[in-house]
Structure 1
Protein backbone atom coordinates (compact mmCIF):
# COMPACT_ATOMS: atom_id res chain seq x y z
CA UNK A 1 0.00 0.00 0.00
CA UNK A 2 2.27 2.76 -1.25
CA UNK A 3 1.22 6.37 -1.61
CA UNK A 4 -0.37 7.02 -4.99
CA UNK A 5 -1.77 9.99 -6.95
CA UNK A 6 -5.18 10.47 -5.36
CA UNK A 7 -5.79 12.59 -2.31
CA UNK A 8 -8.86 10.60 -1.29
CA UNK A 9 -10.34 7.18 -1.99
CA UNK A 10 -14.08 6.79 -1.42
CA UNK A 11 -14.67 3.11 -0.61
CA UNK A 12 -18.11 1.50 -0.42
CA UNK A 13 -19.35 -2.08 -0.32
CA UNK A 14 -22.50 -3.10 -2.20
CA UNK A 15 -24.57 -6.19 -1.43
CA UNK A 16 -27.85 -6.45 -3.37
CA UNK A 17 -28.15 -2.70 -2.89
CA UNK A 18 -28.19 -1.43 -6.45
CA UNK A 19 -30.62 1.46 -5.95
CA UNK A 20 -28.91 2.72 -2.80
CA UNK A 21 -25.50 2.55 -4.44
CA UNK A 22 -26.82 4.34 -7.53
CA UNK A 23 -28.03 7.21 -5.35
CA UNK A 24 -24.72 7.23 -3.45
CA UNK A 25 -22.72 7.49 -6.69
CA UNK A 26 -25.05 10.00 -8.30
CA UNK A 27 -24.54 12.35 -5.36
CA UNK A 28 -20.74 12.06 -5.63
CA UNK A 29 -20.97 12.63 -9.38
CA UNK A 30 -22.97 15.82 -8.82
CA UNK A 31 -20.45 17.37 -6.42
CA UNK A 32 -17.43 19.25 -7.75
CA UNK A 33 -14.54 18.33 -5.50
CA UNK A 34 -11.45 20.50 -5.21
CA UNK A 35 -9.15 17.54 -4.53
CA UNK A 36 -8.22 14.48 -6.57
CA UNK A 37 -10.21 11.39 -5.71
CA UNK A 38 -11.30 7.94 -6.80
CA UNK A 39 -14.46 5.99 -6.05
CA UNK A 40 -14.12 2.27 -5.36
CA UNK A 41 -17.20 0.05 -5.33
CA UNK A 42 -16.89 -3.56 -4.22
CA UNK A 43 -19.86 -5.77 -5.05
CA UNK A 44 -19.75 -8.28 -2.23
CA UNK A 45 -21.48 -11.38 -3.58
CA UNK A 46 -24.73 -9.87 -4.85
CA UNK A 47 -27.13 -12.19 -6.66
CA UNK A 48 -25.99 -10.63 -9.92
CA UNK A 49 -22.89 -8.64 -10.88
CA UNK A 50 -24.16 -5.25 -9.79
CA UNK A 51 -20.70 -3.73 -10.14
CA UNK A 52 -20.91 -4.22 -13.93
CA UNK A 53 -24.28 -2.44 -13.99
CA UNK A 54 -22.94 0.42 -11.90
CA UNK A 55 -19.76 0.72 -13.97
CA UNK A 56 -21.83 1.07 -17.15
CA UNK A 57 -23.82 3.90 -15.56
CA UNK A 58 -20.95 5.54 -13.68
CA UNK A 59 -17.74 5.03 -15.72
CA UNK A 60 -15.63 6.99 -13.21
CA UNK A 61 -15.79 4.23 -10.59
CA UNK A 62 -13.34 1.39 -10.11
CA UNK A 63 -13.82 -1.80 -8.17
CA UNK A 64 -14.86 -5.36 -8.78
CA UNK A 65 -17.46 -8.05 -8.30
CA UNK A 66 -16.70 -10.73 -5.72
CA UNK A 67 -18.67 -13.92 -6.33
CA UNK A 68 -18.51 -14.64 -2.59
CA UNK A 69 -19.84 -12.46 0.20
CA UNK A 70 -16.72 -11.74 2.24
CA UNK A 71 -18.48 -9.74 4.92
CA UNK A 72 -18.16 -6.05 5.73
CA UNK A 73 -14.47 -6.28 6.56
CA UNK A 74 -13.61 -8.56 3.65
CA UNK A 75 -15.31 -6.30 1.13
CA UNK A 76 -13.66 -3.18 2.50
CA UNK A 77 -10.28 -4.90 2.57
CA UNK A 78 -10.57 -5.55 -1.17
CA UNK A 79 -11.27 -1.84 -1.56
CA UNK A 80 -8.25 -0.94 0.57
CA UNK A 81 -5.97 -3.12 -1.54
CA UNK A 82 -7.27 -1.51 -4.73
CA UNK A 83 -7.16 2.04 -3.40
CA UNK A 84 -4.55 4.63 -4.25
CA UNK A 85 -5.56 7.55 -2.05
CA UNK A 86 -3.61 9.19 0.73
CA UNK A 87 -6.81 9.12 2.78
CA UNK A 88 -9.52 6.46 2.77
CA UNK A 89 -13.17 7.42 3.30
CA UNK A 90 -15.25 4.34 4.10
CA UNK A 91 -18.93 5.07 3.49
CA UNK A 92 -21.91 2.72 3.62
CA UNK A 93 -23.64 2.49 0.26
CA UNK A 94 -26.89 3.64 1.88
CA UNK A 95 -25.37 6.99 2.87
CA UNK A 96 -25.51 10.29 1.02
CA UNK A 97 -22.96 13.08 1.16
CA UNK A 98 -24.39 16.59 1.61
CA UNK A 99 -24.09 19.04 -1.26
CA UNK A 100 -21.50 20.92 0.84
CA UNK A 101 -19.28 17.83 1.02
CA UNK A 102 -16.32 19.38 -0.81
CA UNK A 103 -15.78 22.03 1.86
CA UNK A 104 -16.50 19.61 4.69
CA UNK A 105 -14.16 16.86 3.47
CA UNK A 106 -11.43 19.38 2.69
CA UNK A 107 -11.64 20.58 6.29
CA UNK A 108 -11.50 17.00 7.58
CA UNK A 109 -8.42 16.27 5.48
CA UNK A 110 -6.74 19.43 6.78
CA UNK A 111 -7.58 18.36 10.34
CA UNK A 112 -5.90 14.98 9.81
CA UNK A 113 -2.88 16.57 8.13
CA UNK A 114 -2.43 18.93 11.08
CA UNK A 115 -2.90 16.23 13.72
CA UNK A 116 -0.78 13.18 12.98
CA UNK A 117 -1.71 11.74 16.35
CA UNK A 118 -5.28 11.30 15.07
CA UNK A 119 -5.93 7.96 13.42
CA UNK A 120 -9.43 8.54 12.09
CA UNK A 121 -12.55 10.67 12.24
CA UNK A 122 -16.28 10.23 11.81
CA UNK A 123 -18.54 13.11 10.79
CA UNK A 124 -21.93 13.82 12.30
CA UNK A 125 -24.43 11.28 10.95
CA UNK A 126 -28.09 12.15 10.52
CA UNK A 127 -30.94 10.00 9.29
CA UNK A 128 -32.36 10.54 5.82
CA UNK A 129 -35.81 10.19 7.34
CA UNK A 130 -36.34 12.33 9.27
CA UNK A 131 -33.39 14.39 7.99
CA UNK A 132 -33.12 16.53 11.13
CA UNK A 133 -32.70 13.55 13.46
CA UNK A 134 -29.20 12.67 14.62
CA UNK A 135 -27.90 9.11 14.51
CA UNK A 136 -24.33 9.74 15.69
CA UNK A 137 -22.53 12.69 17.26
CA UNK A 138 -19.90 10.74 19.15
CA UNK A 139 -19.97 8.02 21.78
CA UNK A 140 -18.84 7.15 25.28
CA UNK A 141 -16.33 4.33 26.02
CA UNK A 142 -17.56 0.76 26.39
CA UNK A 143 -17.76 -0.39 29.98
CA UNK A 144 -15.05 -2.90 30.82
CA UNK A 145 -17.27 -5.89 31.58
CA UNK A 146 -20.76 -5.36 30.14
CA UNK A 147 -19.53 -3.65 26.91
CA UNK A 148 -22.29 -1.09 27.23
CA UNK A 149 -22.01 2.57 26.26
CA UNK A 150 -23.99 5.54 24.99
CA UNK A 151 -24.17 6.81 21.41
CA UNK A 152 -24.24 10.58 21.80
CA UNK A 153 -27.09 12.39 20.08
CA UNK A 154 -28.87 9.18 19.12
CA UNK A 155 -32.38 9.96 17.81
CA UNK A 156 -32.23 13.55 19.06
CA UNK A 157 -33.47 16.34 16.81
CA UNK A 158 -30.74 18.57 15.40
CA UNK A 159 -30.61 21.79 17.44
CA UNK A 160 -26.92 22.59 17.01
CA UNK A 161 -26.15 20.92 20.34
CA UNK A 162 -23.14 18.89 19.13
CA UNK A 163 -21.00 21.41 17.26
CA UNK A 164 -17.68 20.74 18.98
CA UNK A 165 -15.12 18.15 17.85
CA UNK A 166 -14.58 15.51 20.51
CA UNK A 167 -12.32 12.54 21.06
CA UNK A 168 -14.20 9.24 20.92
CA UNK A 169 -13.27 5.59 21.57
CA UNK A 170 -14.38 4.30 18.16
CA UNK A 171 -15.64 5.46 14.77
CA UNK A 172 -19.09 4.79 13.29
CA UNK A 173 -18.87 2.11 10.59
CA UNK A 174 -21.19 4.04 8.24
CA UNK A 175 -18.62 6.82 7.76
CA UNK A 176 -14.93 6.55 8.65
CA UNK A 177 -12.13 8.74 7.27
CA UNK A 178 -8.74 7.18 7.95
CA UNK A 179 -5.25 8.10 6.68
CA UNK A 180 -3.52 5.43 4.63
CA UNK A 181 -0.48 5.66 6.90
CA UNK A 182 -2.64 4.44 9.79
CA UNK A 183 -3.87 1.42 7.82
CA UNK A 184 -0.28 0.64 6.82
CA UNK A 185 0.68 0.70 10.49
CA UNK A 186 -2.32 -1.12 12.00
CA UNK A 187 -3.26 -3.51 9.19
CA UNK A 188 -6.52 -4.39 7.46
CA UNK A 189 -9.96 -4.82 9.02
CA UNK A 190 -10.37 -8.09 10.97
CA UNK A 191 -12.30 -10.51 8.76
CA UNK A 192 -13.02 -13.02 11.55
CA UNK A 193 -16.18 -11.10 12.49
CA UNK A 194 -17.82 -11.16 9.03
CA UNK A 195 -20.66 -8.90 10.21
CA UNK A 196 -20.96 -6.61 13.26
CA UNK A 197 -18.17 -5.52 15.62
CA UNK A 198 -15.44 -5.60 12.95
CA UNK A 199 -15.06 -1.82 12.76
CA UNK A 200 -15.23 -1.63 16.56
CA UNK A 201 -12.41 -4.16 16.91
CA UNK A 202 -10.41 -2.31 14.21
CA UNK A 203 -10.91 1.01 15.98
CA UNK A 204 -9.72 -0.48 19.25
CA UNK A 205 -6.52 -1.55 17.50
CA UNK A 206 -6.11 1.92 16.00
CA UNK A 207 -6.87 3.57 19.34
CA UNK A 208 -3.90 1.86 20.97
CA UNK A 209 -1.63 4.08 18.89
CA UNK A 210 -3.78 7.02 17.76
CA UNK A 211 -6.70 9.09 18.96
CA UNK A 212 -10.07 9.02 17.19
CA UNK A 213 -12.42 11.98 16.74
CA UNK A 214 -15.99 12.93 16.07
CA UNK A 215 -15.80 15.80 13.58
CA UNK A 216 -18.75 18.13 14.10
CA UNK A 217 -18.23 20.28 11.00
CA UNK A 218 -19.01 17.52 8.50
CA UNK A 219 -22.17 15.59 7.82
CA UNK A 220 -23.37 12.37 6.22
CA UNK A 221 -26.98 11.26 5.79
CA UNK A 222 -27.78 7.62 6.50
CA UNK A 223 -30.80 5.80 5.10
CA UNK A 224 -30.89 3.35 7.99
CA UNK A 225 -34.32 3.54 9.57
CA UNK A 226 -34.71 5.47 12.80
CA UNK A 227 -37.40 2.95 13.78
CA UNK A 228 -36.80 -0.63 14.89
CA UNK A 229 -34.47 -2.50 12.56
CA UNK A 230 -34.95 -5.92 11.04
CA UNK A 231 -34.88 -8.57 13.74
CA UNK A 232 -33.58 -11.78 12.16
CA UNK A 233 -32.00 -14.99 13.51
CA UNK A 234 -29.03 -14.23 11.20
CA UNK A 235 -28.47 -10.91 12.96
CA UNK A 236 -28.93 -12.48 16.39
CA UNK A 237 -26.33 -15.14 15.60
CA UNK A 238 -23.62 -12.68 14.53
CA UNK A 239 -24.31 -10.19 17.29
CA UNK A 240 -24.08 -12.99 19.87
CA UNK A 241 -20.95 -14.53 18.39
CA UNK A 242 -19.11 -11.30 17.71
CA UNK A 243 -19.84 -9.62 21.03
CA UNK A 244 -18.15 -12.56 22.73
CA UNK A 245 -15.30 -12.56 20.21
CA UNK A 246 -14.76 -8.82 20.73
CA UNK A 247 -14.63 -9.28 24.51
CA UNK A 248 -12.12 -12.11 24.18
CA UNK A 249 -9.86 -10.11 21.83
CA UNK A 250 -10.03 -6.80 23.66
CA UNK A 251 -10.14 -7.67 27.34
CA UNK A 252 -7.43 -9.39 29.39
CA UNK A 253 -7.09 -11.26 32.66
CA UNK A 254 -9.95 -11.21 35.15
CA UNK A 255 -11.76 -8.48 33.17
CA UNK A 256 -11.97 -10.83 30.19
CA UNK A 257 -13.29 -13.69 32.34
CA UNK A 258 -15.91 -11.49 34.01
CA UNK A 259 -16.99 -10.01 30.69
CA UNK A 260 -17.44 -13.42 29.08
CA UNK A 261 -19.37 -14.70 32.12
CA UNK A 262 -21.62 -11.63 32.03
CA UNK A 263 -22.31 -11.92 28.30
CA UNK A 264 -23.08 -15.65 28.45
CA UNK A 265 -24.89 -15.94 31.78
CA UNK A 266 -26.65 -12.57 32.00
CA UNK A 267 -26.99 -10.88 28.61
CA UNK A 268 -27.54 -14.01 26.51
CA UNK A 269 -29.80 -15.64 29.10
CA UNK A 270 -31.94 -12.52 29.32
CA UNK A 271 -32.29 -12.36 25.56
CA UNK A 272 -33.17 -16.05 25.32
CA UNK A 273 -35.90 -15.66 27.93
CA UNK A 274 -37.35 -12.77 25.96
CA UNK A 275 -37.28 -14.77 22.73
CA UNK A 276 -38.85 -17.80 24.43
CA UNK A 277 -41.68 -15.67 25.82
CA UNK A 278 -42.32 -14.34 22.32
CA UNK A 279 -42.08 -17.78 20.70
CA UNK A 280 -39.00 -16.83 18.63
CA UNK A 281 -37.32 -20.22 18.80
CA UNK A 282 -35.03 -19.60 15.82
CA UNK A 283 -33.51 -16.69 17.73
CA UNK A 284 -33.00 -18.91 20.78
CA UNK A 285 -31.11 -21.38 18.61
CA UNK A 286 -29.09 -18.50 17.12
CA UNK A 287 -27.89 -17.49 20.58
CA UNK A 288 -26.85 -21.08 21.36
CA UNK A 289 -25.06 -21.53 18.04
CA UNK A 290 -23.51 -18.05 18.14
CA UNK A 291 -22.10 -18.70 21.61
CA UNK A 292 -20.70 -22.08 20.56
CA UNK A 293 -19.13 -20.58 17.44
CA UNK A 294 -17.50 -17.81 19.47
CA UNK A 295 -15.77 -20.26 21.81
CA UNK A 296 -14.47 -22.20 18.82
CA UNK A 297 -13.02 -18.98 17.41
CA UNK A 298 -11.20 -18.23 20.66
CA UNK A 299 -8.79 -21.06 19.88
CA UNK A 300 -7.68 -19.43 16.64
CA UNK A 301 -7.50 -15.85 17.95
Structure 2
Protein backbone atom coordinates (compact mmCIF):
# COMPACT_ATOMS: atom_id res chain seq x y z
CA UNK A 1 0.00 0.00 0.00
CA UNK A 2 1.40 3.39 -1.04
CA UNK A 3 1.74 5.96 1.70
CA UNK A 4 -0.12 9.26 1.33
CA UNK A 5 0.97 12.47 3.03
CA UNK A 6 -1.93 14.91 3.48
CA UNK A 7 -0.64 18.49 3.69
CA UNK A 8 -2.77 21.46 4.70
CA UNK A 9 -1.90 25.04 5.63
CA UNK A 10 -3.50 27.05 8.41
CA UNK A 11 -3.49 30.84 8.54
CA UNK A 12 -5.49 32.44 11.35
CA UNK A 13 -8.27 29.85 10.97
CA UNK A 14 -7.71 27.19 13.65
CA UNK A 15 -11.38 26.23 13.88
CA UNK A 16 -11.64 25.79 10.10
CA UNK A 17 -8.52 23.61 10.14
CA UNK A 18 -9.84 21.50 13.01
CA UNK A 19 -13.07 20.91 11.09
CA UNK A 20 -10.97 19.51 8.23
CA UNK A 21 -9.08 17.23 10.62
CA UNK A 22 -12.40 16.03 12.02
CA UNK A 23 -13.72 15.26 8.54
CA UNK A 24 -10.57 13.23 7.76
CA UNK A 25 -11.02 11.24 10.98
CA UNK A 26 -14.70 10.60 10.23
CA UNK A 27 -14.56 9.79 6.51
CA UNK A 28 -11.11 8.46 5.69
CA UNK A 29 -10.53 4.70 5.81
CA UNK A 30 -7.16 4.67 4.06
CA UNK A 31 -4.64 3.34 6.55
CA UNK A 32 -1.27 4.50 5.20
CA UNK A 33 -1.92 8.17 5.86
CA UNK A 34 0.36 10.88 7.25
CA UNK A 35 -1.30 14.17 8.19
CA UNK A 36 0.82 17.32 8.14
CA UNK A 37 -0.47 20.72 9.24
CA UNK A 38 1.59 23.84 8.58
CA UNK A 39 0.80 27.00 10.51
CA UNK A 40 1.70 29.83 8.16
CA UNK A 41 2.61 32.63 10.58
CA UNK A 42 -0.77 32.98 12.31
CA UNK A 43 -1.09 35.75 14.87
CA UNK A 44 -1.53 33.13 17.60
CA UNK A 45 0.36 29.84 17.45
CA UNK A 46 -2.13 26.93 17.63
CA UNK A 47 0.46 24.17 17.37
CA UNK A 48 1.18 23.53 21.09
CA UNK A 49 -2.54 22.90 21.62
CA UNK A 50 -2.82 20.78 18.48
CA UNK A 51 0.13 18.60 19.38
CA UNK A 52 -1.68 17.59 22.56
CA UNK A 53 -5.06 17.13 20.88
CA UNK A 54 -3.76 15.32 17.77
CA UNK A 55 -0.66 13.39 18.86
CA UNK A 56 -0.62 11.24 15.70
CA UNK A 57 -0.40 14.25 13.36
CA UNK A 58 2.68 16.20 12.29
CA UNK A 59 2.79 19.96 12.88
CA UNK A 60 5.26 22.65 11.95
CA UNK A 61 5.14 26.41 11.97
CA UNK A 62 6.57 29.29 9.98
CA UNK A 63 6.96 32.53 11.90
CA UNK A 64 6.04 34.49 8.76
CA UNK A 65 3.34 34.07 6.14
CA UNK A 66 4.97 32.19 3.25
CA UNK A 67 1.87 32.22 1.05
CA UNK A 68 0.11 29.21 -0.44
CA UNK A 69 3.15 27.87 -2.25
CA UNK A 70 5.63 28.50 0.55
CA UNK A 71 3.40 27.03 3.24
CA UNK A 72 2.78 23.87 1.27
CA UNK A 73 6.44 23.59 0.30
CA UNK A 74 7.30 23.70 3.99
CA UNK A 75 4.98 20.76 4.56
CA UNK A 76 6.73 18.80 1.84
CA UNK A 77 9.93 18.94 3.89
CA UNK A 78 8.37 16.52 6.43
CA UNK A 79 6.33 14.40 4.02
CA UNK A 80 7.41 10.80 3.54
CA UNK A 81 4.50 9.61 1.39
CA UNK A 82 4.71 8.19 -2.12
CA UNK A 83 1.86 10.55 -2.98
CA UNK A 84 1.36 13.99 -1.45
CA UNK A 85 -2.23 15.19 -1.14
CA UNK A 86 -2.38 18.98 -0.81
CA UNK A 87 -5.77 20.15 0.48
CA UNK A 88 -6.99 23.58 1.52
CA UNK A 89 -7.84 23.80 5.19
CA UNK A 90 -11.36 24.90 4.16
CA UNK A 91 -12.16 21.55 2.56
CA UNK A 92 -13.89 18.47 3.94
CA UNK A 93 -13.26 14.84 2.99
CA UNK A 94 -15.76 12.28 1.80
CA UNK A 95 -15.69 8.49 2.04
CA UNK A 96 -13.40 6.90 -0.55
CA UNK A 97 -11.72 10.14 -1.57
CA UNK A 98 -8.12 9.06 -0.94
CA UNK A 99 -8.67 5.48 -2.09
CA UNK A 100 -10.07 6.58 -5.46
CA UNK A 101 -7.18 8.92 -6.20
CA UNK A 102 -4.55 6.42 -5.07
CA UNK A 103 -6.09 3.67 -7.21
CA UNK A 104 -5.63 5.74 -10.37
CA UNK A 105 -2.13 6.85 -9.42
CA UNK A 106 -1.22 3.21 -8.87
CA UNK A 107 -2.72 2.11 -12.18
CA UNK A 108 -1.24 4.87 -14.33
CA UNK A 109 2.39 5.73 -13.69
CA UNK A 110 2.20 8.64 -16.14
CA UNK A 111 -0.10 10.61 -13.79
CA UNK A 112 1.92 13.31 -12.07
CA UNK A 113 -0.99 15.20 -10.52
CA UNK A 114 -4.67 14.46 -10.00
CA UNK A 115 -7.61 16.33 -8.48
CA UNK A 116 -11.02 15.03 -7.39
CA UNK A 117 -14.35 16.58 -8.25
CA UNK A 118 -14.89 19.63 -6.03
CA UNK A 119 -18.33 20.67 -4.85
CA UNK A 120 -19.33 23.78 -2.92
CA UNK A 121 -19.74 23.02 0.77
CA UNK A 122 -22.69 25.39 1.22
CA UNK A 123 -24.39 24.00 -1.90
CA UNK A 124 -23.31 20.37 -1.77
CA UNK A 125 -24.91 19.35 -5.07
CA UNK A 126 -23.28 22.19 -7.00
CA UNK A 127 -19.97 21.57 -8.78
CA UNK A 128 -17.04 23.94 -8.41
CA UNK A 129 -14.51 21.95 -10.43
CA UNK A 130 -14.31 18.80 -12.50
CA UNK A 131 -11.35 19.74 -14.67
CA UNK A 132 -9.94 22.70 -16.61
CA UNK A 133 -9.77 23.38 -20.31
CA UNK A 134 -6.30 24.07 -21.75
CA UNK A 135 -4.89 27.57 -21.35
CA UNK A 136 -5.33 30.15 -24.09
CA UNK A 137 -1.87 31.70 -23.98
CA UNK A 138 -2.97 34.70 -26.03
CA UNK A 139 -5.37 35.87 -23.29
CA UNK A 140 -4.28 33.82 -20.23
CA UNK A 141 -7.79 32.47 -19.96
CA UNK A 142 -9.23 29.00 -19.57
CA UNK A 143 -12.45 27.53 -18.28
CA UNK A 144 -13.27 25.59 -15.15
CA UNK A 145 -15.34 22.63 -16.34
CA UNK A 146 -18.66 22.00 -14.58
CA UNK A 147 -18.56 25.14 -12.45
CA UNK A 148 -21.97 26.07 -10.96
CA UNK A 149 -23.68 23.06 -12.52
CA UNK A 150 -25.88 20.78 -10.43
CA UNK A 151 -24.09 17.46 -10.08
CA UNK A 152 -26.20 14.74 -11.65
CA UNK A 153 -23.29 12.48 -12.46
CA UNK A 154 -22.86 14.02 -15.92
CA UNK A 155 -19.06 14.07 -15.56
CA UNK A 156 -18.52 10.83 -13.67
CA UNK A 157 -17.31 8.98 -16.77
CA UNK A 158 -14.78 11.64 -17.77
CA UNK A 159 -11.86 10.38 -15.66
CA UNK A 160 -8.62 11.19 -17.42
CA UNK A 161 -6.39 14.00 -18.61
CA UNK A 162 -7.36 17.62 -17.95
CA UNK A 163 -5.84 21.03 -18.48
CA UNK A 164 -4.94 21.71 -14.85
CA UNK A 165 -5.54 20.40 -11.37
CA UNK A 166 -7.26 22.55 -8.73
CA UNK A 167 -5.13 23.93 -5.91
CA UNK A 168 -7.82 23.26 -3.30
CA UNK A 169 -7.23 19.50 -3.61
CA UNK A 170 -4.37 18.00 -5.58
CA UNK A 171 -2.56 14.70 -5.18
CA UNK A 172 0.98 14.78 -6.57
CA UNK A 173 3.36 11.91 -7.20
CA UNK A 174 6.55 12.30 -5.17
CA UNK A 175 8.65 11.38 -8.19
CA UNK A 176 7.06 14.28 -10.13
CA UNK A 177 8.05 16.71 -7.37
CA UNK A 178 11.58 15.34 -7.31
CA UNK A 179 11.89 15.90 -11.06
CA UNK A 180 10.06 19.22 -11.43
CA UNK A 181 10.85 20.81 -8.08
CA UNK A 182 8.56 22.51 -5.57
CA UNK A 183 5.99 25.22 -6.28
CA UNK A 184 7.50 28.57 -7.23
CA UNK A 185 7.02 30.60 -4.05
CA UNK A 186 7.09 34.04 -5.67
CA UNK A 187 3.50 33.51 -6.85
CA UNK A 188 2.50 33.60 -3.14
CA UNK A 189 -1.23 33.36 -4.02
CA UNK A 190 -2.89 32.33 -7.32
CA UNK A 191 -1.47 30.65 -10.41
CA UNK A 192 1.22 28.74 -8.49
CA UNK A 193 -0.51 25.40 -9.04
CA UNK A 194 -0.96 26.14 -12.75
CA UNK A 195 2.72 27.01 -13.08
CA UNK A 196 3.50 23.76 -11.22
CA UNK A 197 1.28 21.80 -13.62
CA UNK A 198 3.20 23.15 -16.58
CA UNK A 199 6.56 22.26 -15.08
CA UNK A 200 5.44 18.75 -14.12
CA UNK A 201 3.93 18.24 -17.57
CA UNK A 202 7.24 19.27 -19.15
CA UNK A 203 8.88 16.47 -17.13
CA UNK A 204 6.76 13.93 -19.00
CA UNK A 205 3.84 13.49 -16.59
CA UNK A 206 0.10 13.92 -17.21
CA UNK A 207 -2.48 15.98 -15.29
CA UNK A 208 -5.70 14.08 -14.46
CA UNK A 209 -9.07 14.55 -12.79
CA UNK A 210 -11.13 11.85 -11.07
CA UNK A 211 -14.80 12.96 -10.96
CA UNK A 212 -15.88 9.92 -8.94
CA UNK A 213 -13.85 11.17 -5.97
CA UNK A 214 -15.45 14.14 -4.19
CA UNK A 215 -14.25 16.81 -1.80
CA UNK A 216 -16.24 19.78 -0.46
CA UNK A 217 -14.78 23.30 -0.54
CA UNK A 218 -15.78 26.32 1.55
CA UNK A 219 -14.86 28.85 -1.12
CA UNK A 220 -13.45 32.28 -0.23
CA UNK A 221 -12.79 31.65 3.44
CA UNK A 222 -9.17 32.82 3.24
CA UNK A 223 -9.22 35.90 1.00
CA UNK A 224 -11.88 38.52 0.47
CA UNK A 225 -13.41 38.64 -3.01
CA UNK A 226 -12.46 42.31 -3.46
CA UNK A 227 -9.36 42.57 -1.31
CA UNK A 228 -6.28 44.52 -2.37
CA UNK A 229 -4.26 41.36 -1.75
CA UNK A 230 -6.31 39.36 -4.24
CA UNK A 231 -6.38 42.04 -6.93
CA UNK A 232 -2.63 42.57 -6.75
CA UNK A 233 -1.62 38.92 -6.96
CA UNK A 234 -4.29 37.93 -9.49
CA UNK A 235 -3.09 40.59 -11.93
CA UNK A 236 0.62 40.27 -11.17
CA UNK A 237 0.60 36.49 -11.38
CA UNK A 238 -1.52 36.31 -14.53
CA UNK A 239 1.23 38.20 -16.33
CA UNK A 240 3.97 36.25 -14.56
CA UNK A 241 2.41 32.92 -15.52
CA UNK A 242 2.53 33.84 -19.20
CA UNK A 243 6.09 35.12 -18.87
CA UNK A 244 7.17 31.79 -17.37
CA UNK A 245 5.06 29.40 -19.45
CA UNK A 246 3.70 31.00 -22.59
CA UNK A 247 5.12 30.00 -25.98
CA UNK A 248 7.32 32.79 -27.40
CA UNK A 249 4.91 33.32 -30.30
CA UNK A 250 2.00 34.12 -27.96
CA UNK A 251 3.67 36.25 -25.30
CA UNK A 252 3.67 39.54 -27.16
CA UNK A 253 0.08 39.06 -28.27
CA UNK A 254 -0.85 38.54 -24.62
CA UNK A 255 1.08 41.66 -23.55
CA UNK A 256 -0.78 43.72 -26.17
CA UNK A 257 -4.12 42.20 -25.10
CA UNK A 258 -3.47 42.97 -21.45
CA UNK A 259 -2.41 46.55 -22.20
CA UNK A 260 -5.24 47.30 -24.64
CA UNK A 261 -8.12 45.39 -23.03
CA UNK A 262 -7.51 44.08 -19.51
CA UNK A 263 -5.76 47.09 -17.97
CA UNK A 264 -8.22 49.80 -19.11
CA UNK A 265 -11.25 47.57 -18.44
CA UNK A 266 -10.14 46.79 -14.89
CA UNK A 267 -9.19 50.39 -14.17
CA UNK A 268 -12.60 51.58 -15.33
CA UNK A 269 -14.36 49.00 -13.20
CA UNK A 270 -12.35 49.95 -10.11
CA UNK A 271 -13.08 53.64 -10.69
CA UNK A 272 -16.81 53.01 -11.08
CA UNK A 273 -16.72 50.98 -7.87
CA UNK A 274 -14.88 53.86 -6.19
CA UNK A 275 -11.99 51.56 -5.34
CA UNK A 276 -8.93 53.73 -5.91
CA UNK A 277 -6.98 51.27 -3.74
CA UNK A 278 -7.51 48.58 -6.38
CA UNK A 279 -6.37 50.94 -9.14
CA UNK A 280 -3.11 51.27 -7.25
CA UNK A 281 -2.76 47.48 -6.90
CA UNK A 282 -3.24 46.97 -10.63
CA UNK A 283 -0.57 49.54 -11.43
CA UNK A 284 1.81 47.91 -8.93
CA UNK A 285 1.12 44.48 -10.43
CA UNK A 286 2.08 45.66 -13.92
CA UNK A 287 5.07 47.62 -12.64
CA UNK A 288 6.41 44.54 -10.83
CA UNK A 289 6.47 42.58 -14.09
CA UNK A 290 8.19 45.43 -15.89
CA UNK A 291 10.94 45.71 -13.29
CA UNK A 292 11.51 42.13 -12.12
CA UNK A 293 12.94 38.99 -13.67
CA UNK A 294 10.44 36.16 -14.13
CA UNK A 295 12.36 34.14 -11.53
CA UNK A 296 12.51 36.94 -8.98
CA UNK A 297 11.62 35.99 -5.41
CA UNK A 298 10.59 39.54 -4.45
CA UNK A 299 6.84 39.78 -3.89
CA UNK A 300 6.40 43.52 -4.29
CA UNK A 301 3.77 43.37 -1.56
CA UNK A 302 4.19 44.12 2.16
CA UNK A 303 3.73 40.64 3.60
CA UNK A 304 3.70 41.96 7.17
CA UNK A 305 0.44 43.80 6.34
CA UNK A 306 -1.35 40.62 5.25
CA UNK A 307 -3.90 39.87 7.97
TM, length-normalised to structure 1: 0.93
Aligned length: 293
Q: 2:43 aligns with which of 47, 50, 60?
A: 47
Where structure 1 has 5 or more consecutive residues not aligned to the other structure, the ranges are none
Residue 257 of structure 1 and its aligned partner are, at CA, apart by 1.4
* CA-to-aligned-CA distance 1:232-276 (integer Å, 9 cap, x gap): 111111111111110100113231111122123311221011111
Residue 56 of structure 1 and its aligned partner are, at CA, apart by 2.5
Where structure 2 has 5 or more consecutive residues not aligned to the other structure, the ranges are 297-307
CA distance in 1, matches of 2:254, 2:235: 13
Secondary structure (helix, strand or coil) at the match of 2:76 reads helix
Q: How does 1:25-44 map to 2 (within 5 A)?
A: 25-31=21-27, 33-44=29-40
Q: Cα 1:22–1:300, aligned 2, differ >3 Å: closer, same or farther?
A: closer
CA distance in 1, matches of 2:156, 2:126: 15
Secondary structure (helix, strand or coil) at the match of 2:292 reads helix
Q: Cα 1:22–1:210, aligned 2, differ >3 Å: closer, same or farther?
A: same
Residue 150 of structure 1 and its aligned partner are, at CA, apart by 1.2
Q: How does 1:213-224 map to 2 (within 5 A)?
A: 213-224=208-219
CA distance in 2, matches of 1:70, 1:117: 31
Q: Give the equivalent residue in structure 2 for 1:65.
A: 61
Work out whether 1:110 is the aligned partner of 2:100: no
Q: Cα 1:32–1:218, aligned 2, differ >3 Å: closer, same or farther?
A: closer
Q: Give the equivalent residue in structure 2 for 1:261.
A: 256
Q: Which moved more, 1:289-298 or 1:11-20?
A: 289-298
TM, length-normalised to structure 2: 0.91
Does the Cα contact within 8 Å between 2:240 and 2:294 map onto a contact in 1?
A: no
Work out whether 1:238 is the aligned partner of 2:225: no
Spell out structure 1 runs of 4+ moving beyond 6 A: none
